């Protein structure tokens, strides 16, 4: 009986402290300190939420820059994040990579395989990767330009402006947030939005 | 290798180097009941819990009652978790109205979270209510690493000639003095980086192309913090720390990596302070540290070089980016994965199933050895088990009575250490053999060829080492794996803990033998080398055959551009 009391006591005590108290208090503190981040880093356009800063979105239209391949169903399903889990010697992996190369070449005339970064044809870990490499954006400019009528020079400048350097100058690598770049394209196409 | 990769690694190693002494010393002060800086705030809370429990700080048990208290309390949590998961639909904080969890999944989840494994046969974002996430799963991610830590503290007390202590006291202090303060700090940093922490429902939005998107939210940051600090590894969502909601930036990736390691590393130093043998502790740090660095190199270099089959296509860059996120790069991802496999956390920032064979070898190494710092305290116990076996082997070789910490190592200790050592490969190899021999087990394979065998082997290794990561292709939600792995996690977890507690007590009750010039010293470079060698040889003898037909075979096939 003494043990029952001890076990229930220690369980209940720690549960009130770290099972309930900790998450609820931390939620309170976070809402005060970082209300924007704590609620999902929402990006707004004309008062309407159109994205989260950190979570990738699916773009497959010719007038927008495309992100990395996503293994979720449908692509970029943020409710069901998952990688492809394809192993290094799985035939499907090679087939997928080849067909993605073909899709890119079909949509961008004159694109050479040696210009395509490997990250643009291999799927990400979450299926929600928000970023692409700078080279991945640059090679898509001809397609976006053709579909939107925006000049290549303007789009190149847009890409340059959207390069995110390493965090604090030292962590991670140069990359581009696809959603932010496409938002800029959208703004250029809809000046009054 | 980019300058950013080097800086990332240097920062991680620097944090471990700078925290090992202060945190290690702090651990000893807390568990020898000396004053520490949080006394004023936390003492009243702890005293409240102790009053309900009916113990006082300096109460003590013996190895048998300590082990029994540990086991019964853990059983109570598993049962409680099972019940709460089964009732999910009727409980509060469920804005997405997720239904009750099925019996098999609830069993698997309750056992795997109670044993600090955090193997997940479900996708969190579409299965678990906020209440299940924080009041059940996040709670268990506090108390189960605290259980392992308590066992280690009890062992350390005994080998330094003190009474074993009281399990309920140790458990409580582990939560209040170590995990909670660190979790508060880490949560705030993570939220600042963009990890959500809210009770608001999922966010529904429409993108500029008109596509609907539903963002899972919830108290993710507080979950993430304890997931890593406790070497738990249970992710909030399916993709775990690869998901930008759980790990949004290169810096959050470093914070999570560091969070996994600071306590296990500090426990090595705590051993030195507690027993008064700091040099021996540094020898152990050297042994585990060199293996850690070796694992990091074994992951980074193959991944940075890329898959030769894909490289043959002549793309713009060479690196294996399958299942990796761009914001961490190969360097940031590699140090995260090395940590998760060393500290037996089991959270992942990328897809392990898609790694190249040599990198997989490094993952397996972490799970087989289970002492590359390991889980908080538990890794130290595993290392000490190898130390006892090594001392015994050395004693045989030179014909002296083996001694450790001034106590004779005799039949009982060696028998218990051997049992603790053998349980691990037994669970992994026999478990995998059964799975491979039965159609039920084979059904779970996703990738064909040697990688498929690797998936099964990884599952059982992960369960036995209480790691919790997976070759994600494996059909973990199949009833066969839910049950088999649910059983393996229990034996893998408690078998070695209980054995080590009894070794500790047996050593405690022995008379100290004075050190002479004939005593084998455990604080020398020579001993470190022999320990390193015995760990590698013992494990190579056990696991090399299965590795040869798994990742090693696959490496050669990949080099020959063979596809399955």
Taking CA atoms, A27 is separated from A52, B75, B92, B184, B220, in Å, by 19, 30, 16, 11, 9
B5, B211, B213: best to mutate for the A interface, most A CBs within 10 A: B213
ipTM: 0.96
Residue of B nearest to A16 (CA): B135
The pTM of the full predicted model, rounded to 2 decimals, is: 0.96
Which residues 351-390 of chain B have a CB within 8 Å of chain A?
A: 351, 353-357
Could you tell me how many CB contacts below 8 A there are between chain A and chain B? 383
**Beta carbons of A153 and B350 less than 8 angstroms apart:** no
Q: Do B197 and A30 touch (CB under 8 A)?
A: yes
Q: What is the pLDDT of residue B466?
A: 87
How far CA B178 is from CA of A1, B142, B192, B263, B546, in Å, comes to: 30, 10, 22, 8, 39
CB-CB under 8 Å, B196 with A89: no
Chain B's closest residue to A62, CA to CA, is B209
> How many helices (H) and strands (E) in chain A?
8, 5
The three-state DSSP-derived secondary structure of B302-318 is: HHHHCCHHHHCCCCCCC
Helix, strand, coil share (%) of chain B residues, nearest 5: 65, 0, 30
pLDDT score recorded for residue B519? 81
Query: Å from B413 to nearest chain A CA?
Result: 29
Instruction: Give the separation between CA A23 and CA B191, rounded to whole angstroms.
Output: 13
Domain ranges for chain A, please list them: 1-39, 41-189
Bond preceding residue B52 cis, omega within 30 of 0: no
Predicted local confidence at residue A193, as pLDDT = 62
Contacts of B136 in chain A (CB under 8 A): 19
User: Is A37 within 8 Å of B191 when comparing Cβ atoms?
Assistant: yes
Of A141, A89, A100, give the one whose Cα is nearest residue B452: A89
Mean pLDDT for the stretch of residues A136-165: 97
Q: Among B45, B321, B448, B450, which would you mutate to test the A interface (most chain A Cβ atoms within 10 Å of its Cβ)?
A: B321
pLDDT of residue B425: 95
Q: Do B239 and A81 touch (CB under 8 A)?
A: yes
The beta-carbon neighbor of B49 closest among A5, A13, A53 is A13
pLDDT in tens, chain B (564 residues): 899 999 999 999 999 999 999 999 999 999 999 999 999 999 999 999 999 999 998 899 999 999 999 999 999 999 999 999 999 999 999 998 999 999 989 988 998 889 888 888 888 888 999 999 999 999 999 999 999 999 999 999 999 999 999 999 999 999 999 999 999 999 999 999 999 999 999 999 999 999 999 999 999 999 999 999 999 888 899 899 999 999 999 999 999 999 999 999 999 999 999 999 999 999 999 999 999 999 999 999 999 999 999 999 999 989 999 999 999 999 999 999 999 999 999 999 999 999 999 999 999 999 999 999 998 888 999 999 999 999 999 988 888 888 898 899 999 999 999 998 999 999 999 999 999 999 999 999 999 999 999 999 999 999 999 888 889 889 888 889 988 998 999 999 898 888 889 999 999 999 988 888 778 888 999 999 999 999 999 999 999 999 999 999 999 999 999 999
Task: Determine the 3-state secondary structure of A166 from DSSP.
Answer: coil
Q: How far apart are the first and last CA of chain B?
A: 32
Grade residue A1 by pLDDT with cuts at 50, 70 and 90.
low
Cβ of B191 within 8 Å of Cβ of A84? The answer is no
Asked if the C-beta of B66 comes within 8 angstroms of chain A's C-beta atoms, the answer is: no
Max distance between CA atoms of chain B, in angstroms, equals 80
Strand partners, A167: A171
CA distance A153 to chain B (A): 23
**CA end-to-end distance (rounded Å), chain A:** 70
Given a contact cutoff of 8 angstroms between Cβ atoms, the answer to whether B472 and A85 are in contact is: yes
Considering CB atoms only, which of B179, B214, B356 is closest to A79?
Answer: B214
Q: B-chain residues within 8 Å CB-CB of A125? A: 239, 242, 323-325, 348-351
Evaluate the CA torsion angle B336, B341, B345, B346 in order and state its sign.
positive
**DSSP 8-state symbol, B408:** E
Nearest chain A residue to B9, by CA: A171
d(CA B449, CA A60): 34
> Residue A35: is its pLDDT beyond 80?
yes
Distance from CA of B464 to the nearest CA of A (A): 22
């Amino acid at each position: 009986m003494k043990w029952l009391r001890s076990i229930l006591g220690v369980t209940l005590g720690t549960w009130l402290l770290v099972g309930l108290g900790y998450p609820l208090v931390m939620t309170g503190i976070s809402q005060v300190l970082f209300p924007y981040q704590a609620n999902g880093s929402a990006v707004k356009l004309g008062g309407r939420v159109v994205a989260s800063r950190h979570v990738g979105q699916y773009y497959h239209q010719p007038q927008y820059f495309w992100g990395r391949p996503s293994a979720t169903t449908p692509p970029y399903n943020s409710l069901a994040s998952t990688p492809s889990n394809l192993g290094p010697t799985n035939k499907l992996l090679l087939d997928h990579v080849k067909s993605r190369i073909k899709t890119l070449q079909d949509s961008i005339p004159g694109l050479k395989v040696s210009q395509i970064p490997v990250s643009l044809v291999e799927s990400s870990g979450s299926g929600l990767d928000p970023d692409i490499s700078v080279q991945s954006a640059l090679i898509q400019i001809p397609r976006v330009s053709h579909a939107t009528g925006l000049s290549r020079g303007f789009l190149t400048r847009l890409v340059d402006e959207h390069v995110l350097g390493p965090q604090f100058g030292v962590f991670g690598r140069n990359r581009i947030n696809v959603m932010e770049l496409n938002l800029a394209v959208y703004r250029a196409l809809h000046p009054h939005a | 290798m980019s300058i950013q990769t080097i800086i990332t690694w240097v920062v991680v190693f620097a944090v471990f180097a700078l925290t090992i002494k202060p945190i290690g010393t702090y651990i000893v002060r807390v568990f020898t009941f000396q004053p520490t800086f949080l006394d004023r705030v936390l003492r009243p809370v702890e005293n409240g819990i102790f009053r309900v429990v009916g113990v006082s700080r300096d109460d003590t048990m013996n190895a048998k009652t300590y082990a029994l208290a540990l086991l019964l309390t853990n059983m109570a949590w598993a049962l409680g978790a099972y019940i709460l998961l089964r009732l999910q639909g009727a409980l509060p904080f469920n804005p997405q109205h997720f239904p009750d969890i099925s019996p098999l999944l609830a069993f698997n989840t309750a056992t795997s979270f109670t044993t600090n494994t955090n193997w997940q046969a479900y996708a969190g974002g579409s299965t678990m209510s906020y209440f299940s996430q924080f009041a059940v799963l996040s709670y268990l991610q506090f108390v189960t690493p605290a259980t392992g830590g308590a066992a280690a503290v009890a062992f350390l007390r005994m080998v330094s000639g003190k009474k074993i202590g009281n399990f309920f006291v140790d458990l409580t202090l582990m939560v209040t003095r170590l995990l909670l303060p660190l979790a508060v700090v880490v949560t705030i940093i993570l939220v600042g980086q963009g990890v959500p922490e809210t009770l608001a429902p999922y966010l529904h939005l429409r993108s500029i192309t008109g596509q609907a998107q539903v963002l899972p939210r919830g108290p993710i940051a507080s979950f993430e913090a304890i997931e890593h600090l406790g070497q738990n590894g249970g992710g909030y969502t399916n993709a775990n720390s690869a998901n930008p909601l759980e790990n949004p930036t290169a810096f959050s990736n470093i914070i999570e990596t560091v969070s996994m390691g600071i306590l296990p590393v500090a426990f090595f130093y705590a051993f030195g302070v507690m027993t008064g043998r700091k040099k021996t502790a540094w020898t152990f740090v050297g042994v585990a540290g060199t293996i850690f660095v070796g694992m990091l190199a074994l992951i980074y270099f193959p991944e940075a070089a890329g898959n030769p089959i894909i490289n043959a296509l002549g793309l713009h860059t060479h690196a294996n980016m399958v299942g990796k996120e761009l914001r961490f790069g190969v360097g940031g991802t590699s140090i995260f994965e090395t940590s998760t496999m060393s500290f037996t956390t089991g959270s992942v920032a990328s897809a392990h199933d898609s790694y190249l064979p040599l990198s997989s070898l490094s993952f397996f190494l972490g799970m087989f050895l289970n002492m590359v710092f390991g889980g908080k305290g538990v890794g130290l116990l595993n290392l000490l088990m190898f130390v006892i076996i090594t001392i015994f082997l050395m004693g045989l070789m030179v014909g002296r009575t083996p001694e450790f910490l001034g106590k004779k190592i005799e039949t009982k200790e060696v028998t218990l250490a051997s049992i603790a050592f053998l349980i691990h490969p037994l669970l992994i190899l026999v478990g995998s053999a059964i799975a491979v021999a039965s159609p039920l087990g084979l059904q779970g394979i996703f990738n064909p060829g040697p990688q498929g065998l690797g998936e099964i082997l990884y599952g059982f290794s992960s369960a036995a080492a209480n790691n919790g990561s997976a070759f994600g292709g494996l059909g973990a939600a199949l009833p066969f794996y839910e049950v088999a792995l649910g059983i393996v996690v229990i034996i893998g977890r408690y078998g070695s803990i209980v054995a080590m507690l009894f070794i500790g007590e047996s050593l405690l009750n022995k008379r100290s033998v004075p050190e002479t010039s004939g005593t084998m010293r455990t604080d020398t470079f020579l001993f470190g080398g022999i320990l390193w060698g015995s760990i590698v040889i013992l494990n190579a003898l056990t696991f090399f055959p299965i590795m040869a037909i798994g990742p090693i075979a696959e490496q050669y096939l990949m080099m020959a551009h063979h596809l399955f």
